[in-house]
Amino acid sequence: MKADYEEHDAILIACCMMQIKAKFDTDEGLNFIQQYYINQGLKKFGDDGKDAVDKELRQMLLRDCFTPKFVKDMTASERKKAQSAMMILAEKQFEKKIKVA
């Protein structure tokens, strides 16, 4: 399928592509960030990982993303409807900070 672009659109797309290439294409090749599930990440990053998880959960609570409940206080119907969440930890490549993804 052929896409038709106006000249200014084509220039914008080309600039974006060049910025992405410059950001990720190094002498060693492309760089990828290793991500870890929560248990693996906490073992790998220790207290820094715990701090990142704590910060992320506090943000969610402050923004009213959800209301925490103890499983023991939930009905069977509520437990069936509950959505599990997956937390992934990664170390930011250039800042050496731990981030929850």
Check: pTM over 0.85? Answer yes or no: no
Find out whether 44 and 36 touch, Cβ atoms under 8 Å.
yes
How much is the pLDDT for 29?
61
Name the more confident of 99 and 71.
Answer: 71
**How confident is the model over 45-84, as pLDDT tens digits?**
999 999 999 998 899 888 988 788 898 999 999 888 887 7
**How confident is the model over 5-24, as pLDDT tens digits?**
788 888 898 888 888 877 77
Q: How many Å from the N-terminal Cα to the C-terminal Cα in the chain?
A: 35
pLDDT at 31 over 90: no
Helix (H) or strand (E) segment spanning residue 55: helix 47-62
**Percentage helix, strand, coil, to 5, in the chain?**
50, 15, 35
The residues spanned by each domain of the chain are 31-100
- Planar angle of CA 83, 89, 91, nearest 5 degrees: 160
User: Tokens 């820094």 appear where?
Assistant: 48
